Amino acid sequence: MKDYINIIGGGLAGSEAAYQIAKRGIKVNLYEMKPKKYSPAHHNKNLAEIVCSNSFKSNLITNACGLLKEELRRLDSLLIKIADETKVPAGQALAVDRENFSKSVTEKIKSNPLINIINKEVGKDVKLKILAEDVITIIATGPLTSESLSEEIKKLIPNQELYFYDAAAPIVQKDSIDFNIAFYGNRYEQEKKKDETIEEWKNRIEKSENSYINLPFNKEEYEKFCKELIEAEVVMLHDFEKREIFEGCMPIEIMAKRGIDTLRFGPLKPVGFDDPRTGKRPYAVVQLRQDDSKASLYNLVGFQTNLKFGEQKRVFSLIPGLESAEFIKYGVMHRNTYINSTELLDNTYKLKKHNNIYFAGQITGVEGYVESISSGMVAALNAVQDFKMRIKNQDRQKIEFSELTMIGSLAKYISEPNSKFQPMNANFGILKDFEGGKIKDKKKRYEMLANRSLENLRLKA
């Protein structure tokens, strides 16, 4: 058995994992292909490069990402500590000087005598025996995993595909939808039959099992929505993303530019529906599909988009019933390689069929800076336990965080069966709610959930 742990990938998750392992007196080989080779989205030679926004989102614990950050602070996260040290003014959010942040992380990791940084591309420059059982390995190669390493990963997960997450629709929290407007119903099962009375029709709808929530437009609402959608600001894609993405999908804003009725004959077609408020067919209909097992999250069907996040909030809030919607996740269009974690990993981010291999970061299906750091920490803490068991013959204590915590809920989300699995940010929709019904005051509920989470945050090893 080797006297070190391998980590492949020096991003946010890999850097956090390296620190947590070394902190516990174990040697680490950290493989990072930069600066010898860069992915199409990376340009900085340092570790923990921040590719997109410089914001780590809200610091308030009544915000899901803010709560996750506070949990990580209490668990001595190196990267959150450095983010706090390199912050720039951003109101209630934690935003960082991205250059100073990456530089500081690199200096801290490089200065640790237990961490050996190896600037080589695994699978090409160096052939690691990842399947060998004499060394524990954490794969934290991010959403732009190199082609050579992707081939190695495929050997670990036979009969499984790596997902190329190139388009996803926004997700809203169900309890923020206005059900004075929205109605349940499946296409064609929703139409009123000729021989039915209004009361019979409504009773049938209420008793039926419906998969979708439907949001009806009238003509004026629809035309205003289309106008704002067409004129909204979009995110500029990298050239490599443009080539890969637009072959297989079409952003809803591009579709809308093809003609005023294009959406009405596409994803917003009203055929097969009658609005229970009027008994008539709506002018157009947006459908929301259940996105989690608890039915607390719903995605906007057909709304893959390249709009900026702020524009998504503004424009999609024009949809009747979503005026006050809480967007748990905005639509994205970019290349993001990830594994089918719900079948492959347990809630410690360990590969179920290989006791020495962990995954961490966005390749697991967690989405976001803080979420990646969280996965790196959990994987590292458990890798340490495996190491102690193998090297020192100590009893292995699995490090699991309560599902009442955000760090534990995120680990549970990526590891429990879910046929509709897609990458996810931290959000209160995945956190176990209070028994006996929800607290109506959302701010109060989030505050109570956050306090409960911090009370249940435990690290025993």
Q: What is the CATH number of the domain that holds 281?
A: 2.40.30
Give per-residue pLDDT as tens, 313-330: 999 999 999 999 999 888
Give per-residue pLDDT as tens, 85-126: 998 877 788 988 888 899 999 999 999 999 999 998 887 777
Instruction: Answer whether residue 246 shows pLDDT above 60.
Output: no
- The last residue of a domain, from among 329, 360, 375: 329
pLDDT for position 248: 43
For 309-316, what is the mean pLDDT? 95
315 and 258, same domain (yes or no): yes
Report the Cα 329 to chain-centroid distance in Å. Answer: 8
Q: Which residue has the higher pLDDT, 269 or 91?
A: 269
Report the Cα 317 to chain-centroid distance in Å. Answer: 22
175 and 285, same domain (yes or no): yes
- The last residue of a domain, from among 307, 329, 351: 329
Give the pairing of strands 183-184 and 87-88: unpaired
- The last residue of a domain, from among 329, 360, 376: 329
For 397-402, what is the mean pLDDT? 91
Q: Cis link prior to 417 (omega < 30° from 0)?
A: no
Confidence of residue 240 (pLDDT cuts 50, 70, 90): very low
Q: How far is it between the farthest Cα atoms of the chain?
A: 80
Separation between Cα atoms, residue 72 and residue 80, nearest integer Å: 7
433 and 350, same domain (yes or no): yes
Q: How many domains does the chain have?
A: 2
- Dihedral (Cα; 373, 289, 215, 255), 10-degree rounding: 80
- CATH at 443: 3.50.50.60
215 and 359, same domain (yes or no): no
Instruction: Answer whether residue 241 shows pLDDT above 90.
Output: no
105 and 188, same domain (yes or no): no
pLDDT for position 293: 65
Greatest mean pLDDT among 150-164, 234-248, 250-264 lies in 250-264
241 and 148, same domain (yes or no): no
Instruction: Answer whether residue 64 shows pLDDT above 80.
Output: yes
Residue 357 pairs in a beta bridge with: 137
- ∠ CA 26-30-31, rounded to 5°: 155
Q: Cis link prior to 143 (omega < 30° from 0)?
A: no
Residue 30 pairs in a beta bridge with: 7, 117
What value does the mean pLDDT of the chain take?
86
In a domain, 414, yes or no: yes
In a domain, 137, yes or no: yes
Query: Within 10 Å of residue 133's Cβ, how many Cβ atoms?
Result: 12
In a domain, 42, yes or no: yes
Prediction pTM value? 0.72
189 and 313, same domain (yes or no): yes
Domain containing residue 58: 4-165+336-455
For 252-281, what is the mean pLDDT? 88
Segment among 27-36, 179-188, 201-210 with least mean pLDDT: 201-210
400 and 429, same domain (yes or no): yes
Q: Which residue has the higher pLDDT, 327 or 333?
A: 327
The half-sphere exposure of 401 on its side-chain side, counting CA atoms within 13 A, is 32
In a domain, 103, yes or no: yes
Residue 290 pairs in a beta bridge with: 298
pLDDT for position 461: 47
In a domain, 76, yes or no: yes
pLDDT for position 334: 66
R_g (Cα) of the chain, nearest Å: 24
In a domain, 461, yes or no: no
In a domain, 445, yes or no: yes
371 and 302, same domain (yes or no): no
281 and 367, same domain (yes or no): no
In a domain, 460, yes or no: no
Segment among 238-242, 410-414, 420-424, 436-440 with least mean pLDDT: 238-242
Separation between Cα atoms, residue 421 and residue 342, nearest integer Å: 7
What token pair was written down for 457? 């945050």
Residue 118 pairs in a beta bridge with: 31
Instruction: Answer whether residue 143 shows pLDDT above 80.
Output: no
319 and 187, same domain (yes or no): yes
359 and 298, same domain (yes or no): no
